[in-house]
A and B are shown apart, each in its own frame.
Chain A
Amino acid sequence: MTLEFLRPDAQGAVARSPMERQALAAGARMAVRDGWNVAVAYAGETPDAPVTWTDSSHLTKLEVHGRHDLTPGLASRTNGAWWCPITPDRTLVIGGARDAVEDHVDVTTAFAALTIAGPQAREVFARFCALDLRPQATPVHGFRPGSVARTPGFVLREDEDRFLMLFGWALGEYMWTVVADAAERLGGVPHA
């Protein structure tokens, strides 16, 4: 394949999130899963926190070019993957199996990701993001490109109180700091 150098598919090397050190500093216990070094638990994690944030950077992300029939602003869940329409002829596929998607550009490591979940999730976003994430504007499965903490990003509402936020990989450390700062004020904790 022409673009295999884009695919995080190393032999022997471990793939690392740009927020790995922040997770470690927050008390993460790490383990290698499917070639990625991921947090599997946090010291002192409380299950009933009003909001949590989770490093989801390891999720597969594929860019597919070509016309699609997705509804603008709404992601579609198919075979374990989110199909997110960016433009009428550009789709971002998050999660799921690579091989199930033909003719894609692997952008897994172009975007880092954080999952922000819990009843206070929208309040956390409100501290650094002007996107309208109310249910009437961003329903479940809503997908919003926009500015997050003054950088370009995407927000996908996976569930009522669960949002997946994508942003540039190089901004991982910065974004962790922003989200942690906002979430901790609201009683939030990192979550594995």
Chain B
Amino acid sequence: MSRLPAQPGQRIDRTQTVRFTFDGRTVDALEGDTIASALYAGGRRTFSRSFKYHRRRGLLCCAGQCPNCLVAVDGAPGVRACTEPVREGMAVEHLNASPSLDRDVMAVTDAVGGPFMPPGFYYKTFIRPRRLWPLYEKVLRRAAGLGRLRAEQADREWRTEYRRRHADVLVVGGGLAGLNAAVAAAELGADVVLADDGPEPGGRALVDGRHDHARALVERARQAGVEILSSASALGVFDGLAAVWQGQTLHQVRARRHVFATGVIEQPLVFAGNDLPGVMLSDGARRLVALYGVRPGARAVVATTSDRGLESALALRDAGVEVAAVADLRATPGTAAATLQRGGTEILAGWTVVEAEGRSEVRAAVLAPVGNGSARAASQRRFECDLIVVSGGVTPATSLLAQAGARTAYDPARGHFALAELPEGVLAAGDVAGAGGLEAIELSGQIAGGDAAHGLGLGDAASRTQVQALRERLRPASARRAPEAVAPAVAGYERGKCFACLCEDVTAKDIHLSVEEGYDSIELSKRYTTVTMGPCQGRMCQLPAVRLMARETGQDLQQVGTTTARPPWSAVPLGALAGRPFEPAKRSSIHPRHRDLGARVLWAGDWRRAYDYGDPQGEALAVHEAAGLIDVSTLGKLLVAGPEAGAFLDRLYPNRFSNLQPGRIRYGVLTSDAGRIMDDGTICRLDDETFYVTTTSSGAGAVEQWFSWWLADWRMDVRLTDVTQGLAAVNLAGPRAREIMRALTDLDCSSEAFAYLDGKRARVAGVPSLILRIGFVGEVGYEIHFPTAYGQDVWDAILEAGAPHGIRPFGLEPQRILRLQKQHILVGQDTDSESTPYGAAMPWIVKLDKDEDFIGKWALEHASEHPGETALVGFTLADGDVPTEGAAILDERGAPAGQVTSARHSRQLGRVIGMAWVPAALAADGASITISDDRRTLRAAVVTKPFYDPDGEVLRS
């Protein structure tokens, strides 16, 4: 165990033990531990195996930034052990190693695979012989990836959901700058959300002795009403919407102002063996000590480019770690060096680390002086140690800012890309904005928060004056920055693998090779070597890769530039992006009855509909022999009312409605301005100024929009109301339908009093209804429309009244058989986006002699003069084969010249019937057509009139 005595500000509770398992072995942790801190305290140094070479990897950042501690928790891979709190009973497993983390057979690739695994090796090494590619692919696929999903779907699913949050100000980053910004904005009255990716807001203040101050700020923020999201990673910024992933919830934060206080990311140094367990970033080592009371090593060597490393060396020494030597790249080390020196630490100014020695973990560090940007091996010193603490400077975490539209530029003094320009409404605070030093960081947060609130019109003159005063204090405070050195691109290049990208195992040599092969821009190199494309998303590797690219190409860093910042900034399960599944399903008010009757329910557009009740042919026959009842509530229903309602419909449809008599119905085909069939339905004139328009089920929404659009354009005195969902509708049809109606209504249902294409209003089973005498299925029919709240009662009443007459409910499939017998088209099934009424054998619907212009008139005039190459006809087959819908109609040369649109077997007719688009020359009764259906060739005969009741006598009776 390497637990230290109690540390001020520690996060752990030493009185509470939490047990979990790692690779099946029980681990005792303390409440507040992360998985990594508990394992490290227990002596574990190897946490993962690298992606390509399967090298051992240990803790590096301890802040969720790097890929070194990825594990699977309870079957979910890709969890960072260094930020994931321990939970009682959790099962933690390693990734990417077999048979075990400490004995991984694939580690042989590190020993012998180097020359065979250059960048893009899978395109090179494994490309020949080609016939073996399937085998290679299988092996590569098995070797690639980090972790395995559980085999069973149920085991790899967990609930995720979206939460939409509007806010005045979103602050990303919960360090001192972010907290100050949140407090400042909230205290001026802004509604503020703060998202911080750590388990506790406070950032570095939690580990550098200012934890009480940070926690006081957190409390002040809460008092001011700030909503604090902890363990919440901002994934990306999309036109003002920030996606923040927290646990199982994806927050979609829409804020009017964004403050990014994302801080800086400490950078590793690139040297030989820089990935060996025991090489740790200085902030990471301090976190282990300060938050979890874990001693990161017994004897340390520190290599730094700034005071950051020196401060860590002091903190480690105070925690009882022997600090053997500090290699400070600066010619003049910071003031802390003297303190360290007095304590026995050797200070090597102008030196850096060139190699980490050790097989499974660090055993020694090799240091060397640096001259002209490269280490001089001749003067090297070797220090035995088990911990190498590195601090290669920092890089501002600008990725989210860049996604929001900010621009960065290279700062040669600091050796990194700094913010250069911010878009409107976007603010930056703290380290990411270049504020150096504690005072400046806090001031910049207060200023950003104040500016954000003021930008929203909050605050007053006094608060603006106050912010201005802060701004004046910020300038001198920012100027008080300790000098820093710029880390060399690589040190110890010739000594072994120097990793630029830990996620993807990309070495300095790989970058060199990629440039040699012509991939000489950072974007090309990224795609070729995959540098910056791993789980860290460039946090650890972008700057080193850019430095290496500059070294290889001779460009300066500004010329090399950075890769494009793209979401997600943090790794996220795909399920998080999916959120809760929403599948809006419309159901008619009669739907419960369909379920009760055992209907087969299928999707029809956005409706769930009864497809049949188990016997579609029998249901269809019942309509011919007795009576049938179908739920047609899904039909679109529009009320078109007003003095100009008739004229409005005349403009929309190719036929006339202004001359329709009240109480009468007319069929209408809606055409586009290109004269193509869009939809069809019936229009009943209720009174002089009111029309009741029905549409197809799937076309209801589009027709309503079409009507609304033209109404807005024409500004006619017409009122449009969509009552699709307000009215249920059923179609009672069959030779016994009239008798059944008589039992349900006082209406005179005789053929004389209630003729075909009449529309009447009456009560049916006590329910106020509109009854349309129309027939889609070829028998005497009544389409009854009534308030949808009575759906079940009316349905029950009709079935009860019809029971003595042999009534049966019928579904969508028998309806399709019945309508096919009548050659009634289904828009979208028998027509497509090129079908005109002329081609669809409905020239009679187009009234080109109408005085007024109507939509599609010009195109229809053209179509009337230029018949199409194909025409829609019925067909029948002599034998029992039912062609597939979509099967090709062949012309005399055997080439496809049309297609089958509908086909069914009709028990009523005793044959197969269908509709098809055929060459116009074949659109005549008795013409023979050839259908090519997969491997079958079928012969059919054309029938141009309805198969059943061709003259409509039954319908009108």
**A residues in contact (CB < 8 Å) with B:** 2-18, 21, 36, 57, 63, 65, 105-111, 123, 126-130, 132, 134, 136-137, 149-151, 168-174, 178, 181-182, 185
The reply to whether the CB of B587 lies closer than 8 angstroms to some CB of chain A is yes
Which residues of chain A come closer than 8 Å to B252, judged between CB atoms?
130
CB pair A170 B586 closer than 8 Å:
yes
How distant is B743 from chain A, measured CB to nearest CB, in Å? 14
How distant is B491 from chain A, measured CB to nearest CB, in Å? 51
CB pair B787 A15 closer than 8 Å:
yes
CB pair A5 B588 closer than 8 Å:
no
The reply to whether the CB of B773 lies closer than 8 angstroms to some CB of chain A is no
The reply to whether the CB of B166 lies closer than 8 angstroms to some CB of chain A is yes
How distant is A119 from chain B, measured CB to nearest CB, in Å? 15
Closest A residue to B796 using CB positions: A13
CB pair A36 B191 closer than 8 Å:
no
Which residues of chain A come closer than 8 Å to B633, judged between CB atoms?
170
Docked Cα-Cα span, A191 to B799, in Å, equals: 34
Docked Cα-Cα span, A65 to B589, in Å, equals: 27
- A126's partner among B164, B587, B686 (CB-CB below 8 A) is B164
- B690's partner among A2, A14, A168 (CB-CB below 8 A) is A2
The reply to whether the CB of B803 lies closer than 8 angstroms to some CB of chain A is no
Given the contacts A13-B765, A126-B163, A2 and B789 also touching, CB distance less than 8 Å: no
- A169's partner among B191, B582, B583, B589 (CB-CB below 8 A) is B589
- B585's partner among A3, A7, A174 (CB-CB below 8 A) is A174
| Contact pattern, B 810-821, Cβ under 8 Å of A = 1, otherwise 0 | 000000000000
Which residues of chain A come closer than 8 Å to B162, judged between CB atoms?
127-128
How distant is A134 from chain B, measured CB to nearest CB, in Å? 6
The reply to whether the CB of B726 lies closer than 8 angstroms to some CB of chain A is yes
Docked Cα-Cα span, A151 to B789, in Å, equals: 20
CB pair A181 B580 closer than 8 Å:
yes
Docked Cα-Cα span, A123 to B165, in Å, equals: 9
The reply to whether the CB of B725 lies closer than 8 angstroms to some CB of chain A is yes
CB pair A137 B766 closer than 8 Å:
no
Given the contacts A2-B686, A5-B761, A134-B166, A17 and B789 also touching, CB distance less than 8 Å: yes
| Interface hub of B787, B790, B797 (most chain A Cβ within 10 A) | B787
How distant is A57 from chain B, measured CB to nearest CB, in Å? 8
CB pair B768 A169 closer than 8 Å:
no
Among B174-182, B261-269, B716-724, the one that faces the other chain is B716-724
CB pair B768 A9 closer than 8 Å:
yes
Which residues of chain A come closer than 8 Å to B582, judged between CB atoms?
128, 149-150, 178
- B586's partner among A11, A105, A168 (CB-CB below 8 A) is A168
Given the contacts A5-B787, A105-B639, A132-B166, A169 and B725 also touching, CB distance less than 8 Å: yes
CB pair B789 A8 closer than 8 Å:
yes
How distant is A173 from chain B, measured CB to nearest CB, in Å? 5
**B residues in contact (CB < 8 Å) with A:** 161-166, 191, 252, 254, 580, 582-589, 591-592, 607, 633, 639, 641, 686-687, 690, 719, 721-727, 761, 763, 765-770, 785-794, 797
29 interchain pairs, CB-CB under 8 A: A2-B690, A2-B761, A5-B785, A5-B787, A6-B787, A8-B787, A10-B766, A10-B793, A11-B766, A12-B765, A12-B766, A13-B790, A14-B790, A14-B793, A18-B589, A57-B789, A65-B719, A105-B639, A105-B719, A105-B723, A106-B726, A109-B726, A110-B722, A110-B788, A123-B163, A127-B161, A132-B254, A151-B584, A171-B586
Which residues of chain A come closer than 8 Å to B726, judged between CB atoms?
6, 106-111, 169
How distant is B634 from chain A, measured CB to nearest CB, in Å? 8
Which residues of chain B come closer than 8 Å to A3, judged between CB atoms?
639, 686, 690
How distant is A186 from chain B, measured CB to nearest CB, in Å? 11
CB pair A8 B166 closer than 8 Å:
no
CB pair B790 A8 closer than 8 Å:
yes
CB pair B164 A170 closer than 8 Å:
no
CB pair B584 A63 closer than 8 Å:
no
Give me the 6 closest cross-chain CB pairs, A-B, nearest first.
A110-B726, A15-B789, A170-B586, A11-B766, A12-B766, A13-B793
CB pair A5 B770 closer than 8 Å:
yes
Docked Cα-Cα span, A129 to B765, in Å, equals: 40
| Interface hub of A13, A123, A150 (most chain B Cβ within 10 A) | A13
Which residues of chain B come closer than 8 Å to A11, judged between CB atoms?
763, 766-767
- B768's partner among A7, A16, A128, A170 (CB-CB below 8 A) is A7
| Interface hub of A10, A149, A151, A170 (most chain B Cβ within 10 A) | A170
Given the contacts A10-B766, A36-B789, A110 and B585 also touching, CB distance less than 8 Å: no
How distant is A154 from chain B, measured CB to nearest CB, in Å? 14
- A16's partner among B725, B761, B792 (CB-CB below 8 A) is B792
Closest B residue to A61 using CB positions: B726
Docked Cα-Cα span, A15 to B790, in Å, equals: 5
- B592's partner among A2, A14, A21, A181 (CB-CB below 8 A) is A21
Which residues of chain B come closer than 8 Å to A150, judged between CB atoms?
582, 584
How distant is A49 from chain B, measured CB to nearest CB, in Å? 20
Which residues of chain B come closer than 8 Å to A106, judged between CB atoms?
726
CB pair B787 A129 closer than 8 Å:
no
| Interface hub of B164, B690, B797 (most chain A Cβ within 10 A) | B164
Which residues of chain A come closer than 8 Å to B690, judged between CB atoms?
2-3
| Interface hub of A17, A18, A136 (most chain B Cβ within 10 A) | A18
Which residues of chain A come closer than 8 Å to B769, judged between CB atoms?
5
Docked Cα-Cα span, A4 to B767, in Å, equals: 10
- B788's partner among A12, A123, A132, A169 (CB-CB below 8 A) is A169
Docked Cα-Cα span, A123 to B589, in Å, equals: 30
Closest B residue to A58 using CB positions: B789
Closest B residue to A181 using CB positions: B580
CB pair B721 A63 closer than 8 Å:
yes
Which residues of chain B come closer than 8 Å to A110, judged between CB atoms?
722-726, 788
Which residues of chain B come closer than 8 Å to A105, judged between CB atoms?
639, 641, 719, 721, 723
CB pair B584 A171 closer than 8 Å:
yes
- A4's partner among B765, B766, B768 (CB-CB below 8 A) is B768
How distant is A129 from chain B, measured CB to nearest CB, in Å? 7
How distant is B250 from chain A, measured CB to nearest CB, in Å? 11
How distant is B689 from chain A, measured CB to nearest CB, in Å? 9
Docked Cα-Cα span, A88 to B514, in Å, equals: 64
How distant is A28 from chain B, measured CB to nearest CB, in Å? 15
How distant is A160 from chain B, measured CB to nearest CB, in Å? 16
10 further interface pairs, Cβ-Cβ under 8 Å (given A6-B727, A16-B790):
A5-B786, A15-B787, A57-B789, A109-B787, A126-B165, A128-B162, A129-B164, A130-B164, A173-B587, A174-B586
Which residues of chain A come closer than 8 Å to B163, judged between CB atoms?
123, 126-127
Docked Cα-Cα span, A146 to B785, in Å, equals: 28
Closest A residue to B762 using CB positions: A5
How distant is A105 from chain B, measured CB to nearest CB, in Å? 5
CB pair A109 B763 closer than 8 Å:
no
CB pair A16 B727 closer than 8 Å:
no
Closest B residue to A131 using CB positions: B164
Which residues of chain A come closer than 8 Å to B765, judged between CB atoms?
12-13
Which residues of chain B come closer than 8 Å to A174, judged between CB atoms?
583-587
Which residues of chain B come closer than 8 Å to A130, judged between CB atoms?
164, 252, 254
Which residues of chain A come closer than 8 Å to B587, judged between CB atoms?
18, 170-174
CB pair A6 B723 closer than 8 Å:
yes
Docked Cα-Cα span, A10 to B769, in Å, equals: 10
Docked Cα-Cα span, A109 to B166, in Å, equals: 32
CB pair A5 B589 closer than 8 Å:
no
How distant is B565 from chain A, measured CB to nearest CB, in Å? 25
Given the contacts A105-B721, A109-B727, A130-B254, A5 and B768 also touching, CB distance less than 8 Å: yes
Docked Cα-Cα span, A101 to B765, in Å, equals: 28
Docked Cα-Cα span, A34 to B767, in Å, equals: 15
How distant is B732 from chain A, measured CB to nearest CB, in Å? 16
How distant is B102 from chain A, measured CB to nearest CB, in Å? 42
Docked Cα-Cα span, A108 to B633, in Å, equals: 16
How distant is A113 from chain B, measured CB to nearest CB, in Å? 12
Closest B residue to A125 using CB positions: B164
Closest B residue to A175 using CB positions: B584
CB pair A173 B766 closer than 8 Å:
no
How distant is B285 from chain A, measured CB to nearest CB, in Å? 40
Which residues of chain A come closer than 8 Å to B166, judged between CB atoms?
132, 134, 137
Closest A residue to B584 using CB positions: A151
